Structure 1
Amino acid sequence: MSACGAESGLISIEQALALISSHTQALAIEQLALHSALNRYLAEDLYSSIDLPLFAQSAVDGYALCSNGTVEIGCQFELLGEIKAGQCSELQLKQGQAIRIFTGAQIPEGTTTIARQEIIKIIENQKIELTETLKLHADTRDQGEEIAVGQCLAQRGQQLSVGAIAALSMAGIQQVRVFQYPKIAVVITGDEVAVNVEDLASGKIFDANAPLIQTWFQQNNQKVEIFHVADTEHAVKTLLQDLAKDHDVILTTGGVSVGDYDFIRPVTLNLGFEQIFWKVKQKPGKPMFFAKQERPQKAPCYLLGLPGNPAAVYVGMQIYTATLIQALQGQAHDLKWFNAVLKHDLKADARDRFLRMTAQFEQATLTVNSLSKQQSHMLTNLMQANCLVRIIAGQTPKAGQIVQGIFI
């Protein structure tokens, strides 16, 4: 096993996540139109001011009937007219009377049951006849059967999905109070990053980290500002000092280890940030760095320093950035681990590992297969991977063993 796993000062993944959650305060609250609040987190409970349905209504296209008892096959009713959805009628049905009604229309007073149109035969002289026996209260939607006035519709901290927005809209909610999204700056360090194809001839490489981070936030309905900075202490200090003034989060890639050109951590500390943790016992992504700067009359600025290798950045986004962003939204982020059967043996390592794998069901059992090219500078297996599987330090997992992972 690698000796670097025994390095002093490393904290566990659980400790790092707990420190992010405990040192991060939720952002301010803002009011948005409901249709603009997709994926936002509610800052208050929401209660219904109406009943749903608003009134008793028909569940089918058919006929509202008035009868004192069970409606037998062959029973006839006098047909008075019709009610469309969106209309209401002051008509009051009496025994033996019926009215044509459509799905969602308000049921007239005196209705005892609804007969769907498929079991009705129209006969002469404005009369209808049942072709099946019908119970009372059939195909009737009662007022308030889904939601009653004063009922809690959604709770503080709930994320607004498409379905939640639709349900709240049906209940007449038009405005919601939610936690603000953070203003995020992404700083890509490294003189080796190529701007164009011609730069490749001088030993530079294309940047995967900026598109990775930008699209990760885009997938989560958030925007970021991307900055590239040269590997000099002055350039790093000037940029970070400026960004810390009006950004809630500074997310950096590279420059957090102990190399001659790793300036992110020392510059951050010199700017007055408090180090919350540095170095996590994991692979990839050991030199993870998290710091916080208090600002007068503003919420704190948080800096999360990710390693420079793109696989480490990807893991950092899925595990740590997600935790930070949710904490800023007033959420305690619990990783949603699944259990699965490992399909093959794995070697041991001194650090916990996050391996890119494929998960699939085989005869109702969830199984996972590791992919090749797991080195931290490689990303091509993300074309196939749909999960990150955690392998605990020191373990030598065997085929058939239960392991834990998160879907990506």
Structure 2
Amino acid sequence: MNSIMSGCGAEHGLITVDQALDLILQHTQGLATESLELNGALNRYLAQEVYSAINLPLFSQSAVDGYAICAQSAIEPHSEFKLIGEIQAGHSSELQLKAGQAVRIFTGAKIPFGTTTVARQEMVNVLDSTRIAITEHLHANVDIRNVGEEISVGQLLAHKGQFLSVGAIASLSMAGIQNVEVFRYPQVAVVITGDEVASSIEDFAAGKIFDANAPLIQAWFQNAGQQVEVFHVADTEDAVKALIQELSDSHDVILTTGGVSVGDYDFIRPVALDLGFEQLFWKVKQKPGKPMFFAELTRPDRTRCYLLGLPGNPAAVYVGMQIYTSTLLRALQGQKQQPDWFSAVLTHELKMDSRERFLRMSASFDQGLLKVWSLSKQQSHMLSNLMQANCLVRIPAGAALSKGQIVQGLFIH
């Protein structure tokens, strides 16, 4: 057997990345919902459809600064009209136009009854205070925003599961929506295991290292606009068990780093199983991040707590956050779908590996094609290339890739 293919990536019982993601999606139970003011619902997911109670525009209005005109047919150059008044945006008017009449109007103002078209001010000559002349040929119904042309009463504005981005918030606000029903955001506890974390330079003398995982995870959640609780726990079975037991009563997700492999001080998995968690998978055929652990606990009230155990190496944590944590959090909020992979052209060769790899790469468009290239220092204990990386790229297991092949990736922020 090929020595590469018989390495740790060929270990019996490993599941694929897609199988792991499918297990998360199959077993994750959506959370309860809550009603929020729209301006406080950024980055949440709708729990029910939203329908419009109004037309948009609310009324027929001018699309430009100009003149509302009443004419019985198309308007020829040099046609004159009698000016009978002015309507500003935000002001109501009882003016009604008859054939041969016009009114000065501004963008967004309600057009008066009888208007057949609007003339932009740049195609109008003001002859005196009561007369204007049109300088160009003008068709009917020009530069009028008709009532309900964008949205009509009862129209579906947003589906259940819609992500409330900045644009979605703005769109719903314009339609007069003030409150929305959304999935409750998961209560997340982050557990950082290990006695090797340094708190000062002096700790290095004792063989300790600075912690990148807690800042990484906190920043990841901060980028999503969410708060999480972070706990550090010593590498003892009793300490890990006490903390996991406490958190499993109050949190929807326990996210751990380290302690999920087979070392003498890897207590996360045995402790979780001892506390009644059901293992859904352990070990994924990927690099970095093979000893991934996912389990669920059904509480007496039938609600669930999910434990996602990430390996301790920071690159594995980063990959786990971008792919697995994000999938789990979305599933808890009604979004049961795999990550949104893009396709891109690989700009260089890559050697074969027995495991599927996630490489930190840089992506950019070149003559209309999205192209990606790998960065140096890809080892699981290294993070410095994240200064340049803007995507994670999937490299299939057991395949050497050539320049020009199509690969899948995920943009990272």
TM-score, length-scaled by structure 1: 0.98
List runs of 5+ in structure 2 lacking aligned partners. Answer: none
8 Å Cα contact 1:30-1:178 kept in structure 2? yes
- 1:359 counterpart residue number: 363
CA displacement at 1:195 relative to structure 2: 1.5
- 1:291 counterpart residue number: 295
CA displacement at 1:68 relative to structure 2: 0.5
Where 1:341 maps in the other structure, the secondary structure is: strand
Where 2:306 maps in the other structure, the secondary structure is: strand
List runs of 5+ in structure 1 lacking aligned partners. Answer: none
User: Following the alignment from structure 1 to structure 2, what is the Cα–Cα distance between the partners of residues 76 and 373?
Assistant: 75
User: Following the alignment from structure 1 to structure 2, what is the Cα–Cα distance between the partners of residues 186 and 256?
Assistant: 14
- 1:236 counterpart residue number: 240
Tell me which moved more, 151-160 or 351-360: 351-360
Q: Equivalent residues in 2 for 1:187-336 (5 A)?
A: 187-297=191-301, 299-336=303-340
8 Å Cα contact 2:21-2:338 kept in structure 1? no
Q: Does 1:156 align with 2:160?
A: yes
CA displacement at 1:197 relative to structure 2: 2.0
Q: Deviations over 1:298-318 (max 9, x none)?
A: 620000000000000011011
CA displacement at 1:125 relative to structure 2: 5.5
Where 1:381 maps in the other structure, the secondary structure is: helix
CA displacement at 1:339 relative to structure 2: 1.9
Q: Deviations over 1:266-318 (max 9, x none)?
A: 00111111111100011110000001001122620000000000000011011
- 2:149 counterpart residue number: 145
Tell me which moved more, 356-365 or 323-332: 356-365
Return closer, same or farther for 1:133/1:193 CA change in 2, 3 Å cut-off: same
User: Following the alignment from structure 1 to structure 2, what is the Cα–Cα distance between the partners of residues 159 and 57?
Assistant: 31
Where 1:301 maps in the other structure, the secondary structure is: strand
Where 2:198 maps in the other structure, the secondary structure is: coil
CA displacement at 1:401 relative to structure 2: 1.9
8 Å Cα contact 1:279-1:288 kept in structure 2? yes
The structure 1 residue matched to 2:123, chosen from 78, 95, 119, is: 119
Where 1:243 maps in the other structure, the secondary structure is: helix
Q: Which amino acid aligns with 2:378?
A: Q
Q: Deviations over 1:339-395 (max 9, x none)?
A: 222222221111111111111222222221111111100110111111111111110
User: Following the alignment from structure 2 to structure 1, what is the Cα–Cα distance between the partners of residues 95 and 375?
Assistant: 70
* Number of residue equivalences: 408
Q: Equivalent residues in 2 for 1:15-30 (5 A)?
A: 15-30=19-34
User: Following the alignment from structure 1 to structure 2, what is the Cα–Cα distance between the partners of residues 317 and 256?
Assistant: 16
TM-score, length-scaled by structure 2: 0.97
Where 1:71 maps in the other structure, the secondary structure is: coil
CA RMSD, 1 decimal? 1.0
% of aligned pairs identical? 69
Where 1:236 maps in the other structure, the secondary structure is: helix
Q: Deviations over 1:125-148 (max 9, x none)?
A: 511111112111111110000001
Return closer, same or farther for 1:372/1:125 CA change in 2, 3 Å cut-off: closer
Provide runs of 4+ in structure 1 moved above 6 Å: none
Q: Which amino acid aligns with 2:125?
A: K
8 Å Cα contact 1:88-1:108 kept in structure 2? no
Where 2:119 maps in the other structure, the secondary structure is: strand
Where 1:123 maps in the other structure, the secondary structure is: strand
